Chains A and B, each alone.
Chain A
């Protein structure tokens, strides 16, 4: 069964600290993995997209890693800011038939950064 699990469910850190969010998946056949940031009351915003052959990808203070062998990804946030408070969602896509794709969403990690 295609599944994406994220941990922790929620996280509270102090401003300026680093943190790492985890995403484990059992999706086949794997196509790519995305991390989204979703602010409260807003739509998700893409942070990174990684294919099978990519191990790491950065977007400013956000760095995503992918280990396709262990089917794990992490999102590392450096020097957190108050504006990083949001939900972070991991999405894995699986290639289907006739060029279609299945998008399997994780339930997200809710991050709160305190001053």
Chain B
């Protein structure tokens, strides 16, 4: 049973393209997140959604647009991809909104922009 799943696992694309990464959780959680991990393995939160509503947006460029069709899904759409967008993107979920809740991470999507 996969708790938090992401597709695709690898994504190679050219600058200027638009791409999406999908995330699904089957844990019945209310809150979902997107994180970016750069080449130095530094993790940074991008977005947090609670019950399909945006809670956290950490000054991410508006080329990045999260979409939550329902509580179990939080997809990440990226427009006009740039070289600096190359990173591993992790989706996560937690039972509730608030830092006392444990977060469960997906396996990551490695995005390479050429």
Contact residue among B43, B55, B103, B106 (Cβ-Cβ distance under 8 Å from A46)? B103
Contact residue among B4, B56, B104 (Cβ-Cβ distance under 8 Å from A100)? B56
Q: How far is the CB of B105 from chain A (nearest CB, A)?
A: 3
Q: Which residue of A lies closest to B108 (CB)?
A: A43
Is B98 a contact of A43 with CB atoms below 8 Å? Answer: no
Among B43, B99, B106, max chain A CB count under 10 A is at B99
Q: How far is the CB of B59 from chain A (nearest CB, A)?
A: 11
Interface size on A, residues (CB 8 A): 24
Per-residue contact bits, chain B 29-54, to A (CB 8 Å; 1 contact, 0 not): 00000000000111111000000000
Is A108 a contact of B41 with CB atoms below 8 Å? Answer: yes
Contact A32 B99, CB 8 Å, known A41-B108, A42-B108, A100-B55? yes
Q: How many residue pairs between the two chains, A and B, have CB atoms under 8 Å in the bound complex?
A: 48
**B5-45: which residues lie under 8 A (CB-CB) from chain A?**
40-45
Contacts of B102 in A (CB 8 A): 46, 49
Contact residue among A43, A103, A108 (Cβ-Cβ distance under 8 Å from B99)? A103
Q: Which residue of B lies closest to A110 (CB)?
A: B41
Contacts of A93 in B (CB 8 A): 99
Is B42 a contact of A44 with CB atoms below 8 Å? Answer: no
Contact residue among B43, B55, B99, B100 (Cβ-Cβ distance under 8 Å from A105)? B43
Contacts of A105 in B (CB 8 A): 42-44
Q: What are some 17 contacts across the A-B interface (CB < 8 A)? A: A31-B99, A32-B100, A38-B41, A42-B108, A43-B4, A43-B90, A43-B106, A43-B108, A44-B43, A46-B103, A46-B104, A49-B100, A91-B43, A101-B98, A101-B99, A103-B99, A107-B42
Q: A41-B107, A44-B43, A101-B56 are in contact. List 14 more A-B contacts (CB 8 A).
A: A32-B99, A38-B41, A42-B107, A43-B106, A44-B90, A46-B103, A46-B104, A49-B102, A89-B43, A91-B43, A103-B45, A105-B42, A107-B40, A108-B42
